[in-house]
Structure 1
Amino acid sequence: MSTKTNDPSGTPPTTRAFDLLAGMFAAQVIAAMATAQVFDTIGHGSKTPDEVATACGLDRNTLARALRFLEVVGVVNKDKDAYALTDVGKCFLKDVPGSLHGSVSFISAPPWRDSWNNFSHCLRTGEPAFDHVFKQPFFTYLDRNQEYGKPFNQYMTRMTTMVAPLVADAYDFGQFKTVCDVGGGQGILLKAVLEKHGGCKGILFDMENALKEQVLGGLVDRTELVTGSFFEKVPRADCLLLKTVIHDWNDANSIRILTNCGEALHKGGKVLLVEQVIERPFTMMGLFYDLHMQVMLGGAERTEEEFAQLLAAAGLKLNRIIPTPSPMKLIEAVAAG
């Protein structure tokens, strides 16, 4: 077998190929260690395997071998007998900015694990693997199985809380009299917008159960709570704000949502999508989430051209794309013509 390689390090292709395959198992080790509180026990200091095993109630021998494995993948460093987290490893601590602790807790959970194990179904059919495995849509399953639904919702709340002020700062919402957060859930993003831009009023639009969890506080006096489905009708407003809504859906459903948004816009109004935009140079995060949306929901992360095509099919025109200090971008659309 040839071992020729274009890798400057000279690592043989077979070794690099095995490293790719081992990535799945590295994720399982990281998930297990996070769930067992290993990373938070080490924290910002260093601890020996004996100390960690005692604190976490783990088998010392297996833990030591797992830490040795994580040293190879860059999660921990060893100094004498003690291990410390690298900067990468610190991302798995619970209480740090941008923590991935919530993400790794899903790696070994059946809804995510079993869906990804059936990625071949997506390849064959173009349909979500989740529906094939669990015989129901993802969000329906989470509603019925709160042992997974509750931590997932908590994770999404943390992610939205991080992104919301960045979106509010990146765009002039003060030009609008009314901003409607479509599928806005608890209203975290709308709250950030109203706090930053005191001259506009808000509409929080979602299903009844979601609105019961709203966190608008004193801003509820500037906000109308409207119950409904964006597949049927959207409240009229000057700005229709949709954060990570469109990536959940296939093209046909996305066009249906956007068409309803276009019909609800006041004259001169704007539709504002908060989404990742796939562009070169590609990132692992963007392309992973693209496939993840397919596996779990039949959705997609999209390129600028793909967003433009969706918007055009809904009678809208992509006007501009505004960056934020995060993977999210603001996609501004107006009525076509």
Structure 2
Amino acid sequence: MNFPVVQARLAEPDVARIERAAAYVEAHDTDDVLAELLPGLAPAERADVARHLVFDHTAVLVFPDSLDGLREELCRLGLEPGNVTPSVVVRDRLTRRYGPALADLPVGIVHVAVGTRSVEIFALPVAPDSALEAVAADEREAEHESHHAFAVTAPGPVVPAGLRLLLQERGGAVPDGGGYNGHENVTVLYHRTATHRRFELRLPGRHDPLPDPTAALLGVMTGAWATQAVATMAELNIADHLADHPGLDADTLADLTATHPDALRRLLRYLTSLGLLTSADGTYHLTATGQPLRTGTEFSLHPLAQLYGGPFYDSFTGLTHAVRTGEEAFAHRHGQHHFAYFAQHPELGSLFHRAMAASAEMFAPVPTLIDFSAVKRVVDVGGGNGALLARLLRTHAHLEGVLFERPGALEEARAHLPERCSFVAGDFTQSVPEGGDVYLLSRVLHDWDDDRCLAILRRCAEAMHPGTQLLLVERLLPTPTAVAWDVHMLCNVGGRERDEAHYGRLLAEAGFEVRACHGLPLGASLVEAVRAPV
């Protein structure tokens, strides 16, 4: 075959990348690619997702010296390219990454057929010895634009929206921009996986609103405003008023809360946008998300909202100090650890213990999750106000309890625990009461570094006979809840969240054997361990 004069040339690294992409497309189907990109999806979820989308192509960005003759160059390499068209989305992404100098440069796109799929080749022309060679080198190294693409086969906006939600919440994908390409009449939605891989969803036609990374960042940056809005809602007892009288208007709520009507109306509008309220015809109702801010309910988060909007909110202004030094920001701002500080400020100490009890929903399954039939005595080590211990004693009338805590915490707990519970003051890094059949460590270890955790676990082990059970309640990484709380622990407490393997190593070093791990509400987990034979 005689080829016309070719103007464009591709460097060997780019040719090799195209060949690797073609080999990948040929060897993988939709389920293969989903399993590789999103291992968090269960097989049944992958199968359901695959009913609505199909693996379409793999994309690479290459750097010919010109777009003229690019198609002929690809033919010369033995490939079967289509026509070269402009790529608006990738040009915009490159402009955001490297500056406005790239805004007027042409970026081509051409598909090379590989069976029923293709390799999508983006091409940014880079003349020899031009300043863009640095861009080409960076892109070849980082592979910013390389990705796998799925064509969404379901028409309309509903199924694509559901797919995006599933891929993000269950698959762990994060939106990574996108846009509409009028040359192909397709909307592309980029995502990034937990392992830094990229994929795109291709939706026929124009879909609005398109992802806006800047708007998404602004949403994250203003999260502090939401924290304060929720804290104000709690302080004004708005949830209680709306629970007692659904459908109140802003003026009536202003009278009940002694607030400025217009200012309150603006707060209510913001709370509605956050999903805590609904509004219609000037009246307001609580949503399921707003309900936990009611007071006097079993799992009220009212005190937690005040704590997170109060002293713990203030200390987050010192997060940069904590990240730079590894020291807790709370102590940096207040001169001492929050336990000591709250002990000197009884109103904050009371708020802290009530806030910890507010998360007691995570304990609800424990009494029936574990077999306590042969247990007589349960020792709660550092159990705060005894929320978990109280639940066990209420459920199992034959149990006796021991709450081992600081004196101030014991005073807070006495009103919540039955008579068959005894109270022992002490320091669990020094000693732990003996004679228990089951020991509880509920949200204790995450307050401390590894050395202090080992000291606590060893004191527990010294008090236990071989085979005695230890129940550990913590949030386990890498769940999103634990990831957020880990930064909170760094900033406010000086401790950390850990993954299951990390706790397993600490337990083993202290003389325990892990037997099981169970999921609990509110992103918590229950780790079962027993004292190993001596």
TM-score tier, shorter chain, comes to 0.7 to 0.9
State which of 329, 334, 338 in structure 2 corresponds to 1:134.
334
Larger radius of gyration, structure 1 or 2? Answer: 2
Tell me, which stretches of 5 or more residues in structure 1 are unaligned? none
User: Taking structure 2 as the reference length, what is the TM-score of the superposition?
Assistant: 0.57
**What is the alpha-carbon distance in structure 2 between the residues aligned to residue 103 and residue 191 of structure 1?**
20
1:50 aligns with 2:262: no
Partner of 2:315: 115
Q: CA deviation at 1:294?
A: 1.8
Q: Is the 8 A contact 2:303 2:358 kept in 1?
A: no
Partner of 1:125: 325
CA 1:315–1:88 in structure 2 vs 1: closer, same or farther (change >3 Å)? same
Q: Is the 8 A contact 1:276 1:328 kept in 2?
A: yes
State which of 484, 487, 500 in structure 2 corresponds to 1:288.
484
- How many aligned positions are there? 329
1:260 aligns with 2:456: no
**What is the alpha-carbon distance in structure 2 between the residues aligned to residue 264 and residue 25 of structure 1?**
47
Q: CA deviation at 1:102?
A: 1.7
Q: CA deviation at 1:298?
A: 1.1
Report the 3-state secondary structure (helix = DSSP H, G, I; strand = E; otherwise coil) of the residue aligned with 1:267.
coil
Q: Is the 8 A contact 2:381 2:403 kept in 1?
A: yes
Partner of 1:152: 352
5 Å-filtered alignment, 1:1-337, equals 2=96, 4-5=177-178, 6=190, 10-43=210-243, 45-109=246-310, 111-160=311-360, 162-212=361-411, 213-214=413-414, 215-220=416-421, 224-236=422-434, 237-279=436-478, 282-283=479-480, 285-325=481-521, 327-336=523-532
1:236-287 superposed Cα distances (whole Å, 9 cap, x missing partner): 23322111111111111111100111122112212221222224xx33x332
Q: Is the 8 A contact 1:262 1:271 kept in 2?
A: no
**What is the alpha-carbon distance in structure 1 between the residues aligned to residue 377 and residue 289 of structure 2?**
42
Partner of 2:142: none
Deviates more, 1:259-268 or 1:176-185: 176-185
Q: CA deviation at 1:216?
A: 3.5
1:105-134 superposed Cα distances (whole Å, 9 cap, x missing partner): 12332x212211111122112221111111
**What is the alpha-carbon distance in structure 1 between the residues aligned to residue 417 and residue 298 of structure 2?**
23
Q: Alignment RMSD, CA only?
A: 2.5
Deviates more, 1:320-329 or 1:294-303: 320-329
CA 1:190–1:59 in structure 2 vs 1: closer, same or farther (change >3 Å)? closer
**What is the alpha-carbon distance in structure 1 between the residues aligned to residue 401 and residue 288 of structure 2?**
40
Q: Which amino acid aligns with 2:468?
A: G
CA 1:241–1:16 in structure 2 vs 1: closer, same or farther (change >3 Å)? same
User: Taking structure 1 as the reference length, what is the TM-score of the superposition?
Assistant: 0.87
**What is the alpha-carbon distance in structure 2 between the residues aligned to residue 105 and residue 185 of structure 1?**
18
How much identity, in percent, do the aligned residues show?
33
CA 1:132–1:83 in structure 2 vs 1: closer, same or farther (change >3 Å)? same
CA 1:49–1:318 in structure 2 vs 1: closer, same or farther (change >3 Å)? same
1:72-103 superposed Cα distances (whole Å, 9 cap, x missing partner): 22222221222222322233222445332222
Report the 3-state secondary structure (helix = DSSP H, G, I; strand = E; otherwise coil) of the residue aligned with 2:529.
strand
Q: Is the 8 A contact 2:367 2:392 kept in 1?
A: yes
**What is the alpha-carbon distance in structure 2 between the residues aligned to residue 225 and residue 95 of structure 1?**
26
**What is the alpha-carbon distance in structure 2 between the residues aligned to residue 226 and residue 69 of structure 1?**
47
CA 1:326–1:173 in structure 2 vs 1: closer, same or farther (change >3 Å)? farther
Higher relative contact order (CA 8 A, sep 6+): 1
Q: Which amino acid aligns with 2:516?
A: R
Q: CA deviation at 1:318?
A: 2.0
Q: Is the 8 A contact 1:307 1:318 kept in 2?
A: no
Q: Is the 8 A contact 1:205 1:227 kept in 2?
A: yes
Q: Normalized per residue, which structure has more helix?
A: 1
CA 1:152–1:263 in structure 2 vs 1: closer, same or farther (change >3 Å)? same
Q: Which amino acid aligns with 1:189?
A: L
Q: Is the 8 A contact 2:353 2:384 kept in 1?
A: no
Q: Is the 8 A contact 2:307 2:355 kept in 1?
A: no
Q: Is the 8 A contact 2:300 2:358 kept in 1?
A: no
Q: CA deviation at 1:158?
A: 4.2
